Amino acid sequence: MSRIPAGLQSRVMSAEQAARLITSGMTLGMSGFTLVGYPKAIPGALAASGHAKNLTLCTGASVGDDMDGVMAQAGIIKRRYSYQSNKSMRTLINDGSIGYIDMHLSHVPTFINRRMGGIHIDMAVIECAVITEEGLIPAASMGASDAFVRMADKVIVELNETIPLDIVGMHDVFEIGTPPHARPIPIVHPLDRIGVNFIPCPPEKIAAIVVTDRQDKSPSFTEPNEVSRVIGRNIVGFLRQEVEAGRLPENLLPLQSGVGAVANAVLQAFADGGFRDLTMYTETFQDSALDLLDRGIVLGATTCAVSFSEAAQKRFYGNLAAYREKLILRSQELSNNPEVIRRLGLISMNTPIEVDIYGNVNSTHIAGSAVMNGIGGSGDFTRNAALNIFATESIGKKGAISCIVPMVSHVDHTEHDTQIVVTEQGVADLRWKIPQERAELLIENCAHPDYRPMLRDYLAQARKTAKSQHTPHDLKQALSWHQRFLETGSMK
Amino acid sequence: MSRIPAGLQSRVMSAEQAARLITSGMTLGMSGFTLVGYPKAIPGALAASGHAKNLTLCTGASVGDDMDGVMAQAGIIKRRYSYQSNKSMRTLINDGSIGYIDMHLSHVPTFINRRMGGIHIDMAVIECAVITEEGLIPAASMGASDAFVRMADKVIVELNETIPLDIVGMHDVFEIGTPPHARPIPIVHPLDRIGVNFIPCPPEKIAAIVVTDRQDKSPSFTEPNEVSRVIGRNIVGFLRQEVEAGRLPENLLPLQSGVGAVANAVLQAFADGGFRDLTMYTETFQDSALDLLDRGIVLGATTCAVSFSEAAQKRFYGNLAAYREKLILRSQELSNNPEVIRRLGLISMNTPIEVDIYGNVNSTHIAGSAVMNGIGGSGDFTRNAALNIFATESIGKKGAISCIVPMVSHVDHTEHDTQIVVTEQGVADLRWKIPQERAELLIENCAHPDYRPMLRDYLAQARKTAKSQHTPHDLKQALSWHQRFLETGSMK
């Protein structure tokens, strides 16, 4: 199978030549999600050349350092949309050099497809495995690539020859349409295929093809430590109780699991938890999920992207034809869509930065001002899941920070949205609990013992000073823990 | 047409007798939404008798004083779920006598249908117009009644003989099902009927029928003042620009409009704005909407309930057969469903208590602690709308309060969710704006001139002190305006 149709061979060019098609002030829609499937040649060429400045860079979610890091450091990015997790990018965002808009991942393609607020993608830059007469077969991540290709004036394809051709058939691309002509998404099971296996793209829209052979860099997740393992066991124990109480089926409901070490550890715990015949409907698919798939504990999954260690990556690409039967790659407009999430009734599991005593969750900001990564899909999943779980260690920075605080310094998920909070200390089930009950559960079950007396003191003081006993706060002290951390380096 | 099937005549009894079927500790699911269609006899009988205490009262949304007020004052309510707007109820919630859980309206029936967290409805009490062999024809509000009837052990019907029989056929009831067996909601236009016109209810489930003749009390909305009218014109002007820029169709997209005087004034402005062939998909339908329907400016609407003045009520009930062609009453599981809201691409319009400089919105709490009404459907609509608008006067309490503040004291809608903020001062279009741009727009376009210098000072101070320029906050001062208001009665 040829990766490029005969009629398009003439558009093959070097990364340097293709980069010249991008000019200052353009808005770029680039592929990539959880460090997988992002362009690896054009970003470097743009950075080296420096001819195009003041770029607006829009991606589905996080991309590798050889894209976000390289372009940020070259000083050619003016604005960055929707999600990032790169150290250089984050530094320049927080020092005010790069403007950053942190969005719900489901909103990104939806808003672009609808030209919401006049947004226009000048150029899409998409890593692909194959180009056909009908369109593009992407890498092992979908992100918002379908929306970028649909709405961009022109498309530059990075054709990555290291991606095995067996990836053809793994994607599922479905055009929802825009109001007043949008249509229902007919997914009623995580493994329902509803569309085509390529991103539609007329050949004349392809402005350049750059052939590459660079593989995705594997993310470096820290190995699960004992604390993460305890968190995982606490979650599994809680779900086991829900099954025993007849509130969840034996094989649970489709799982969504966030990114990172805690998420990885949590899924590992499922293997030991005795669950079987699980499914997943998620935006990222990590090593531990692949293990569950290999062991037959997870029957199949929808994901927006894979995100593997080097060893898992090798296993995955070596057996693509087999995984194709059990794994569907969908765009974030589908993987994160409230319609499907609510219908399937997911169990969502995400990692907060901090949770306050009333259940408000901060997923994005340190001490109110500095952004970390972004909200990602956590809002899409949490609000619409059948059961949502926020899992974190109870303390950070060796105890200098409590993850349970009087008032979060930034709210990404409101008290109306949070159901279950889990730390290594225990589980707080906030469902049908009034604010003061939530506070007691979070303090006694989830906070670290070192911080419990301080939290009890805050609550007592708030009860004494507040004009209302519904959600008592002492506004003078509510953010004092963060202020103390800024001044002394510790919340204590 | 008889309102009660022959086989059920034996279950007709007095309110006092029926109330005896309710015992202490029960969880009650009662009909009612925006003061319409709530039980009017049982609550009084329960309050007078006092035999049943520690009740948990769950409703779709707000109900009349002869229900919420009477039951709250009788001291028989221990917990209140999902939404209220009653003075007595609010007072007892804020003094800690009644526990209150403030929920997204779309969550309520969904969680009840799924028995989320083990919730169980012991008794449903539903106001109806007619009982048939198949089920119940409710009053002119659906709320969460279908879920209550489905999941309750038993049902008490308040059969209100003042409701004209022409209401039969106005409702549209559809069972979504629960995961893993939930199904798509096949609504692609606000006027699509997809279900049956009654709430299915086997006759044996009906424990009592109480015949009543009390009409809904009309809510007392203040007449739109000049400020509300300017807000309305600002919104219409903004939408007109969106149409001219080709970003919205000539007849816009289906409108959702919140409750109250500002919302009423805004819809009035649409009549003068030259828009035609509009549709609505909303949770409440007020006088101004009825005017638009009468004048043919609005072609038709889905609503969860009507909420009319006495004059509009008379017009509505006097012409039910005609309105039935243009108005569909659906449960809040449908009217507020993210699936349908995102698909139809609504223009949502809601009223906040306050908005902060980065676009976080407080819809529920005064100075962080005291709850006002509740979040209602504003989260369902805002998050999923094609275009969301928050409209409020820029000041409150004769200038003692600024509705644009440094940091909101409670977050109901996050910075990720807010698009357009409108006051009588102007419009802030926050779409694709980074936090500091949002702050400048909100201060210069929306804040009252009296508060602009103070807001500029705060922003400058935050930029100076914060460790990050992404979302600069000065945590020492962020909530000081609310603290000052608590201490002095003014934010100034």
- Collect all residues with Cβ–Cβ distance below 8 Å to B441 and sequence separation of at least 6: B428, B429, B430, B433
Which one-letter amino acid corresponds to residue B123? M
Q: Between the CA of residue A196 and those of A113, A179, A200, B71, B276, what are the distances in Å?
A: 18, 22, 9, 57, 38
- The residue ranges of chain A whose pLDDT is under 50 are none
Chain A residue closest in CA terms to B252: A180
- ipTM exceeding cut-off 0.85 for this assembly: yes
pLDDT of A219: 75
Token code pair at residue A138: 């992407």
Give, to the nearest 10 degrees, the angle between helix A310-318 and helix A287-294: 40
**What is the per-residue DSSP string for A372-392?**
-S--TTHHHHHHH-SEEEEE-
Give the CATH fold of the A226-488 domain. Glutaconate Coenzyme A-transferase (3.40.1080)
**Is B288 in contact with B268 (CB distance < 8 Å)?**
yes
Given B345, B412, B483, which is nearest A414 (Cβ)? Answer: B412
Are the beta carbons of A467 and B486 separated by less than 8 Å? yes
Give the start-to-end residue ranges of the domains of chain B. 6-212, 226-488
**Is A155 in contact with A69 (CB distance < 8 Å)?**
no
d(CA B419, CA B428): 8
Q: What's the pLDDT tens digit per position in A361-377?
A: 999 999 999 999 999 99
- Collect all residues with Cβ–Cβ distance below 8 Å to A314 and sequence separation of at least 6: none
Q: What is the DSSP letter of B66?
A: I
Q: Between the CA of residue A111 and those of A34, A106, A122, B228, B387, what are the distances in Å?
A: 21, 9, 15, 30, 10
**Sign of the torsion formed by the C-alpha atoms of B366, B370, B372 and B373:** positive
pLDDT of A271: 83
Given A407, A434, A466, which is nearest B101 (Cβ)? Answer: A434
pLDDT of A263: 85
Are the beta carbons of B473 and A368 separated by less than 8 Å? yes
**Sign of the torsion formed by the C-alpha atoms of A64, A66, A71 and A74:** positive
User: Is A339 among the residues known to form the active site?
Assistant: no
Residue B476, min C-alpha distance to chain A (Å): 7
Given A101, A379, A414, which is nearest B411 (Cβ)? Answer: A414
Which residues are bridge partners to A138 per DSSP? A128
Query: Which residue intervals of B394-488 are DSSP H helices?
Result: 435-441, 452-465, 480-488
Q: Between the CA of residue B281 and those of B184, B264, B299, B340, B459, what are the distances in Å?
A: 18, 16, 11, 9, 38
Size of interface A-B (CB pairs under 8 A): 251
Q: What b/e sequence results for B122-138 when a residue is b if at least 16 CB atoms lie within 10 Å of its CB, and e otherwise? A: bbbbbbbbbbbeebbbb
- The residue ranges of chain B whose pLDDT is under 70 are 221
pLDDT of B224: 80
Catalytic site residue from B283, B333, B393, B424 = B283
**Do the two domains A6-212 and A226-488 of this chain adopt the same fold?**
yes
Interface probe for B, chosen from A105, A151, A475, A488 (most Cβ of B below 10 Å), is A475
Query: With contacts defined as CB-CB under 8 Å, which chain A residues touch B468?
Result: 94-95, 366, 369-371
Strand order in the sheet with A361-362: A361-362, A354-356, A404-405
pLDDT of B220: 72
Q: Between the CA of residue A242 and those of A235, A254, A346, B38, B117, what are the distances in Å?
A: 11, 15, 14, 34, 8
- Collect all residues with Cβ–Cβ distance below 8 Å to A228 and sequence separation of at least 6: A261, A262, A264, A265, A266, A393
Answer whether CATH 3.40.1080.10 is correct for domain A6-212: yes
**Is B123 in contact with B26 (CB distance < 8 Å)?**
yes
Give the Cβ contact number of residue B315 at 10 Å: 16
Catalytic site residue from A127, A158, A283, A424 = A283
Chain A residue closest in CA terms to B103: A416
Q: Between the CA of residue B315 and those of A223, B298, B322, what are the distances in Å?
A: 69, 17, 11
Give, to the nearest 10 degrees, the angle between helix B310-318 and helix B287-294: 40
Nearest CA-CA partner of B66 in B40, B30, B48, B47: B40
